[in-house]
Structure 1
Amino acid sequence: MGTWDVGPFDNDTAADFSGDLDEAPEGEREGLLRNALVRTIDTRDYLDQDIAVEAVAAAALVAAQCPGGEPVTTAYGPDLPIPQLTADLRELAVQALDRVVTEPSELMELWGETDTVGPWRGTIVRLRTSLLPSSPGGQLQLS
């Protein structure tokens, strides 16, 4: 996999996933995101990096629609808008991110072999934090 930075779309696989989203009819884009997340969550054995990378990209698109979520502005993200997503994708995205950083995970192993594992983990933490609902007082609810 060609990777050039620690962002959710800073690799060839995520860029290809963005292209797949752009090629899909608007009504099917949420299903593609859901499938990427569920496929990751359901992987009990070794999690292939390509599956994990797509889940991270999907989680970033879900997080972008959450209050305080970072918009996806990279040229490697989807060019076409993602329709308003259903709320249940937030929990699926959290579960998928948790699986990506749980062994056995090829993506986690590959990042662990680099000097940028800390910044990559920071990206995952920021996404996860954006996906968690906030209480009225601004405190994260971890339930």
Structure 2
Amino acid sequence: MGTWDVGPFDNDTAADFSGDLDEAPEGEREGIIRDALLRIIGTRDYLNQDIAVEAVAAAALVAAQCPGGESITTAYGPDLPPPQLSSELRELGVQALDRVVTDPSELMELWGDTDKDGSWRASLVQIRTALSTASSGGTATPLAQG
């Protein structure tokens, strides 16, 4: 895992995902974000870390447009901001993040083997809180735990 920190874009796979978004026509960017979220929702099989990382990055992009969401300021995020995203992506983002931290998940296992697991989970909680608060009208729901 080419990772240098715990943020949603602090790894090679998410940086590549950002590049793919930048290269896509503006009208296709929301579909790319939606696909990254939908790919893992409902997956009961072993979740590959690369698609999990893309889902986390996609969820962070959706959360950035929510009230209280954190702006994407890292150089590894997309250079071009996504268009205004559909509010239905907020719930998909919540579901995707919940799947990332549900067994079997390679990304969760990899972080669990490091001393940064708590910081990584805290970054997911921050993203998920913005998404769930915005999609539920003000009440955040807790992040699932493995």
Amino acid at match of 1:2: G
Gaps of at least 5 residues in structure 1 are none
CA distance in 2, matches of 1:42, 1:30: 20
Distance 2:37 2:95 in 1: 8
AA matched with 2:16:
D
**How far is 1:132 from its partner?**
1.4
Q: What are the within-5 Å matches in structure 2 for residues 88-103 of structure 1?
A: 88-103=88-103
Give the Cα separation in 1 of the matches to 2:16 and 2:78. Answer: 9
Mean alpha-carbon deviation: is it higher for 34-43 or for 69-78? Answer: 34-43
- Report the CA distance between 1:127 and its aligned residue: 0.5
Match of 1:60 in 2: 60
Unpaired segments of 5 or more residues in structure 2? 142-146
What is the CA–CA distance in structure 2 between the aligned matches of 1:141 and 1:70, rounded to whole Å? 15
Q: Is the 8 A contact 2:129 2:140 kept in 1?
A: no
Cα pair distance change 1:116/1:7, threshold 3 Å: same
Q: Which residue of 2 aligns with 1:119?
A: 119
Structure 1 residue 84: deviation in Å? 0.1
AA of the residue aligned to 2:56:
V
1:78-116: CA deviation from partner (whole Å, max 9, x where unpaired)? 001210000100000000000000000000000000000
Q: Alpha-carbon deviations, 1:29-77, whole Å to 9, x = none?
A: 0000000000011322000000000000000000000000000000000
| Mapped contact 2:22–2:78 kept (Cα < 8 A) | yes
| 2:43 aligned residue | 43
2:81 corresponds to? 81
Q: Is the 8 A contact 2:59 2:97 kept in 1?
A: yes
1:141 is displaced (CA, Å) by: 5.1
In the other structure, the counterpart of 1:140 is 139
Identity %: 76
Give the TM-score of the pair, scaled to structure 2. 0.92
- One-letter amino acid of the structure 1 residue matched with residue 122 of structure 2: G
State the Cα distance separating 1:140 from its structure 2 match.
1.4
Cα distance in 1, alignment partners of residues 123 and 78 from structure 2: 19
Q: Post-superposition, which runs of at least 4 consecutive aligned residues in structure 1 deviate over 6 A?
A: none
Going from structure 1 to structure 2, the CA distance change for 1:109 and 1:141 (only over 3 Å counts) comes to closer
Paired AA for residue 64 in structure 1: A
